[in-house]
Amino acid sequence: MASNLPLPIPPRTPTPPADEPYNHAMQTNPGVAIDRDALSPLRETFPKSIALDPGNQARLSPTKTSFNLSSTSAEMTPSARNGSIDSTAAGPFNFDTAVMAKGPVVKSNIGQRRGHKYKHSSISHQIFLEPPPRAPLALPNSLPIPTLKECRASMSKEQKTRFWWSVCHMFVAGYIQWAAHGSLAMTALSHLILFDSLGALLCVAVDVLGNFEVWKRSSIRHPFGLERAEVLAGFAMCVLLLFMGLDLISHNLQHFLEKSGHEPHHSHPHERVSLGSVDVTAVLAICSTLVSAIGLKNHARIGRAMRFAYIDSLPSVLSNPSHFLTLSCSALLLLLPLVSIRIYDWLDKFLSGTIAISMCVLGVRLVKTLGSMLLMSYSGGGVAEVIKDIEAEPSVFGIDDARFWQVHYGLCMANVKLRVSGTEDNIARLREKISSLIRNRLGGGYGTGGQKWEVSLQFTIERP
């Protein structure tokens, strides 16, 4: 029964209005023709009240040759005002020939807006906030490195004197090398004098660079200044000293093989200084070493960085291993002319071998010390004792981390992280006590001229 019911008709969608207006005339009178020129001003049926000038009726037609839009404008050309019409103006359009400029077109951005600035919009005032003003960094980004001309201009009179003395020291080393053909020990001494002369020249260069701010002042590019360049130069000198010691050892072995019956490749005459005479070369070596050690403080920084316990008790000049080796070798060479020829030959070889081995030992020790300094570590002793003394403090529960490292010859740093307990006053006293303990044990104490230590302590307070 439900299948016999009629299907419902869907509702009719209203028709949208037409785009063109509805023409009632065409709808009511479909058979009547419409004259489209009925309202033309050129027709006779056009009302006379709005008719145009009869003489100018043709000028409104764009099909006429006399049609000119410029003549109908409020601002007429001078030729139109005079009643004359240019022959080039004939035609429906009047385009004048324009010459483009050869120069670049200058754009004017006055009154124009390029892009949208988000922070100037009304909404972005609540989203994009201006960053708070930040104080400038205390360290500069970089400092100018002086040139050779600037270094020469900044030298004082004393620095110039010290420079010329270092040059004289190098000439002394060259003279001893030239006069060393009569003795193997004198050849070894010439190598030591060469090492001392290079050290004297380095001391003058460091003194001159100290005139500039970049040498000691920290910057982002050079956090510890340029003083680490002195460590690098000293490392190169120590490598040179090590190779010179190895060269002397090979030279001694060559002479030993020659004495054993092998044919020498080159003749090596060794003339002995006359009996009872004074070896002027040895005296010259002693004088030049003393002047550089006392006047220029030669190898003073290396001596502080590397200490030998068995010569620490000697005077200031002899406590430096470099000066001790040079002066002791020169003093022994002064005694060689006082012995017989046979003993002289054996002493000369023995002294040459001893100096060569000492140079290798000193070079290896210096390379290790300065290499650890370049790697930002501390190679000195006493660190284990300091750690034990800190742990023995009653307020200290334990040491979480302890780092000791050396930046250059004059600066060392200690960073210690501790777990402590106590009041604020006790913790403040503990901080001062640990700092003075590190400086006195590792730096040599106040007033001794030792290395400077900067101590950084971090405390974690443990609640009992």
Q: How far is CA 425 from CA 201, 395, 434, in A?
A: 51, 12, 14
pLDDT at 424: 86
For the stretch 174-186, pLDDT in tens is: 888 888 776 788 8
Which residue, chain included where needed, has tokens 């291993």? Answer: 321
pLDDT at 92: 56
d(CA 401, CA 396) in angstroms, rounded, equals 13
Report yes or no on whether pTM surpasses 0.75: no
Q: What are phi and psi of 65, to 5 degrees?
A: -75, -20
Q: Domains plus CATH for the chain?
A: 148-374 (1.20.1510), 383-461 (3.30.70.1350)
Rg (CA), the chain: 51
Spatial contact of 167 and 263, defined as CB atoms under 8 Å apart: no
Closest CA to 40 of 56, 57, 23, 64: 57
Does the CA dihedral 68-73-78-82 come out positive or negative?
positive
Averaged pLDDT in 10-residue chunks for the chain of 464 residues: 65 64 50 61 60 50 53 44 46 62 55 52 57 75 88 90 90 87 83 90 90 87 87 91 90 76 49 59 88 83 68 73 87 78 79 90 89 87 88 88 87 90 87 90 64 87 76
| 3-state DSSP helix/strand/coil % of the chain, to nearest 5 | 50, 5, 45
For the stretch 95-150, pLDDT in tens is: 667 666 565 555 555 555 555 555 555 554 556 667 787 777 677 788 888 998 99
Question: What contacts 57, CB < 8 A, 6 or more positions away?
Answer: 41, 42
Q: How far is CA 217 from the centre of its chain?
A: 14
Helices (H), 179-279: 184-209, 213-216, 228-259
pLDDT at 107: 53
DSSP assignment, residue 418?
A: E
Strands in 452-461's sheet, in edge-to-edge order, are: 396-408, 411-420, 452-461
pLDDT at 51: 45
pLDDT at 164: 92
